[in-house]
């Protein structure tokens, strides 16, 4: 879409674009280009010399069992977060859509975790599951269980997954609810007259009609789990124990910023870049289709 | 509601209340923890009802939440929240300001490299901080912006989503308005200031709500570029308080700070719910 009426001025448009473009160039494009460049160089630890090594950094990366392990963990983590957050939000949205009285109050009370920072969400769950003073480990011990996410890798993973999913429920809930409210009532009523109960109406009408929303949310949730959960991991487990929660973004930060492995960290950056680009393309292609829907 | 079945209605409300309880439970426990002494907290089981120490704990958190370390003075959540506020307002205001003028240039002018500029802005969407950690840090360090508000704010204010949103808003503005303005002799800046800005007021407000939360909750970026205790944001401050090594973490103070850290963004969401929902759905288009 283009404007028919435009202004003419030889300098003004460039001046208006300058701040955005300068920030973009200095803090986005230049560093990203540097990361691309470093990913094909091998630098000595003191930064004194570097030499061109083609794709050695990538070969090394994908031969590194720790990295492959982190890749798998990230995939599992993202899928679990997306699944838990989407399923519980969808269930709550179905109920909220059905509630006649108090719908607004329910909505308000369910959306505010969106405003909680991921790292803060991590601290909340850390308190609940603290092995020495937390409430849930106490209850678990009462039932003969044992909880210590500082030593048990799968428990640590479960904890960060819960914290990450908890924070994302409100976002998904809002979009599911909006999606459901856009479905024409007449469809639902027609099905009800034909004798379809609530469960059947959901699976044959509501769920299929929600599929664009669901698909969009899957992409958003995976992006969230990949990138925005850094704060949760950093606050609760720091990637541990023994790398059990070392997801890709945490690893790239840890290897590069703490471990100062320039080439390896740059190669990791480039892999992450490829993942974001793929996800963004998927997201935008979907949005084009939504227009026709 | 299509049919009226009493048990179904009751079931609906029970599920929703349960959902709210589960969502709110971690926060409730945090609040309870922030109102007891450490001694009460570490005794098993942890209390489930608020205690009497709330005022003391919050006062201490605000004054000197992060105790003195090796060579550093104690710093309170008050100072950290001020830093977070500056960062959140700076990011929200900065993003809106530079995006709205960029969108204006792209929509209302024809010039060389217009599409190039558009794509350059689009690319930022694909380059989150996480994929360019070290080089960005180096740029900021070279520019001498470590441990400064400028360093916290400026590298984060480029925004493709905000630019796209304003582009959509401007494209929906009727051409007749620009035509009328031109006939009346208004220049491009006058048109922008007197007509487009007032027309975009609600969009700006909605975007501001989302960006304020985004800015307040930043983590990786301030973690990297702030070291000075004076420059810590409150979210990072909590993390510093937790990292006490072998010492007993002061949970009651940490929890009071946690409540303080989430109060501003949560209040913004609840009090400006309509704008918040509008902003959320519009920026994702």
| Minimal C-alpha gap between A125 and chain B (Å) | 6
Which of B282 and B272 is assigned the larger pLDDT? B272
Position of tokens 């519980």? Answer: A88
Query: Under 8 Å CB-to-CB from B162, ≥6 apart: which residues?
Result: B95, B96, B99, B100, B207, B211, B283
Position of tokens 């007032």? Answer: B198
**Best of B3, B7, B15, B26 to disrupt the A interface by mutation (most A CBs within 10 Å)?**
B26
What residues in A contact B107, CB-CB < 8 Å?
Answer: 3
- Can you give the pLDDT at residue A292? 36
Q: Dig out the tokens for A1 from the structure.
A: 């879409």
When pLDDT is cut at 50, 70 and 90, the band that residue A240 belongs to is: confident
- Can you give the pLDDT at residue A291? 38
SS3 content of chain B, % helix, strand, coil (to 5): 75, 0, 25
CA distance A188 to B199: 38
Number of Cβ pairs < 8 A linking chain A and chain B: 296
Q: Which of A170, A182, A247, A245 is closest to A210 using CA atoms?
A: A182
- Can you give the pLDDT at residue B73? 64
Instruction: Write out the DSSP string of A139-166.
Output: HHHHTT----TTT-HHHHHHHHHHHHHH
CATH T-level topology, domain B77-283 = MetI-like fold (1.10.3720)
**Best of A26, A109, A114, A115 to disrupt the B interface by mutation (most B CBs within 10 Å)?**
A115
b/e map of A234-267 (b: 16 or more CB within 10 Å)? Answer: bbbbebbbebbbbbbbbbbbbbbeeeebbbbbbb
A16-53 pLDDT tens trace: 999 999 999 999 989 888 888 888 877 766 666 777 77
Whether pLDDT at A87 is above 90:
yes
A126-182 pLDDT tens trace: 888 888 788 888 888 888 778 887 888 888 999 999 999 999 999 999 999 988 888
Please name the residue of chain B whose CA is at the shortest distance from the CA of residue A97.
B1
Do A136 and A224 form a contact (C-beta atoms < 8 A)? Answer: no
| Minimal C-alpha gap between B202 and chain A (Å) | 20
CA distance A217 to A111: 16
- Is A115–B262 a contact, with Cβ atoms under 8 angstroms apart? yes
Residues 126-145 on A with a CB inside 8 Å of B are 126-128, 132-135, 138
Domain ranges of chain B: 77-283
Q: Look up the ipTM and state it.
A: 0.86
**Best of A101, A120, A134 to disrupt the B interface by mutation (most B CBs within 10 Å)?**
A120
Q: Dig out the tokens for B135 from the structure.
A: 């080089």
- Is B254–A123 a contact, with Cβ atoms under 8 angstroms apart? yes
CA distance A119 to A113: 12
- Is A116–B126 a contact, with Cβ atoms under 8 angstroms apart? no
**Dihedral pair phi/psi, residue A51, rounded to 5°:** -135, 155
Position of tokens 């955005």? Answer: A20
What is the reported pTM?
0.89
Q: Which of B244, B256, B255 is closest to B69 using CA atoms?
A: B244
- As its CATH architecture, domain A60-119+162-292 has Orthogonal Bundle (1.10)
Residues found in chain B: 285
A102-137 pLDDT tens trace: 778 888 888 888 889 999 999 899 888 888 788 888
Whether pLDDT at B128 is above 50:
yes
CA distance B75 to B67: 7
Which of B261 and A55 is assigned the larger pLDDT? B261
When pLDDT is cut at 50, 70 and 90, the band that residue B246 belongs to is: low
């Amino acid at each position: 879409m283009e404007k028919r009426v435009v202004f003419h001025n030889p300098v003004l448009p460039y001046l208006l674009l300058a701040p955005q473009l300068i920030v973009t160039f200095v803090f986005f494009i230049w560093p990203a280009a540097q990361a691309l460049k470093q990913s094909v160089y091998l630098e000595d630890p003191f930064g004194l010399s570097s030499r061109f090594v083609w794709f050695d950094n990538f070969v090394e990366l994908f031969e590194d069992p720790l990295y492959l392990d982190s890749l798998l963990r990230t995939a599992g983590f993202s899928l679990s977060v997306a699944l838990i957050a989407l399923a519980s939000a969808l269930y709550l949205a179905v109920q909220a859509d059905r509630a006649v009285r108090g719908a607004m109050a329910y909505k308000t009370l369910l959306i505010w975790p969106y405003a909680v920072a991921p790292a803060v969400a991590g601290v909340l769950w850390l308190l609940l599951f603290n092995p020495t003073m937390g409430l849930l480990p106490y209850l678990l011990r009462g039932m003969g269980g044992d909880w210590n996410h500082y030593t048990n890798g799968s428990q640590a993973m479960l904890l960060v997954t819960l914290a990450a999913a908890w924070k994302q429920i409100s976002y998904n809930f809002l979009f599911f609810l909006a999606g459901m409210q856009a479905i024409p009532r007449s469809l639902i009523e027609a099905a009800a007259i034909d004798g379809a109960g609530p469960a059947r109406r959901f699976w044959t009408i509501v769920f299929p009609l929600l599929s664009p929303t669901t698909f969009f949310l899957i992409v958003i949730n995976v992006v969230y789990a990949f990138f925005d959960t850094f704060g949760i991991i950093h606050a609760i487990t720091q990637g541990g124990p023994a790398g059990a929660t070392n997801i890709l973004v945490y690893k790239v930060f840890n290897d590069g910023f703490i471990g100062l492995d320039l080439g390896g960290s740059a190669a990791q950056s480039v892999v992450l870049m490829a993942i974001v680009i793929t996800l963004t393309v998927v997201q935008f292609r979907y949005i084009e289709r939504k227009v026709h829907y | 509601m299509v049919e009226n079945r009493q048990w179904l209605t009751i079931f609906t409300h029970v599920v929703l209340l349960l959902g709210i309880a589960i969502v709110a439970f971690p926060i409730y426990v945090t609040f309870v923890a922030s109102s007891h002494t450490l001694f009460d907290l570490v005794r098993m089981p942890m209390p489930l009802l608020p205690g009497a120490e709330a005022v003391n704990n919050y006062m201490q958190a605000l004054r000197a939440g992060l105790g003195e370390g090796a060579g550093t003075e104690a710093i309170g959540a008050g100072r950290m929240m001020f830093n977070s506020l500056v960062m959140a307002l700076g990011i929200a205001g900065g993003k809106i300001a530079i995006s709205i003028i960029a969108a204006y240039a792209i929509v209302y002018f024809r010039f060389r490299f217009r599409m190039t500029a558009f794509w350059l802005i689009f690319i930022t969407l694909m380059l989150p901080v996480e994929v360019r950690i070290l080089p960005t840090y180096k740029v900021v360090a070279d520019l001498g912006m470590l441990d400064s508000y400028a360093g916290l704010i400026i590298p984060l204010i480029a925004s493709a989503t905000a630019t796209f949103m304003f582009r959509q808003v401007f494209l929906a503005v009727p051409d007749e308005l620009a035509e009328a303005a031109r006939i009346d002799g208004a220049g491009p800046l006058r048109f922008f200031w007197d007509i487009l800005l007032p027309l975009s007021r609600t969009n700006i407000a909605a975007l501001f709500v989302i960006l304020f939360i985004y800015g307040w909750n930043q983590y990786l970026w301030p973690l990297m570029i702030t070291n000075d205790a004076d420059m810590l944001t409150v979210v990072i401050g909590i993390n510093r308080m937790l990292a006490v090594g072998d010492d007993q973490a002061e949970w009651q103070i940490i929890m009071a700070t946690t409540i303080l850290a989430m109060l501003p963004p949560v209040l913004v969401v609840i009090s400006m719910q309509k704008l918040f929902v509008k902003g959320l759905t519009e920026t994702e288009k």
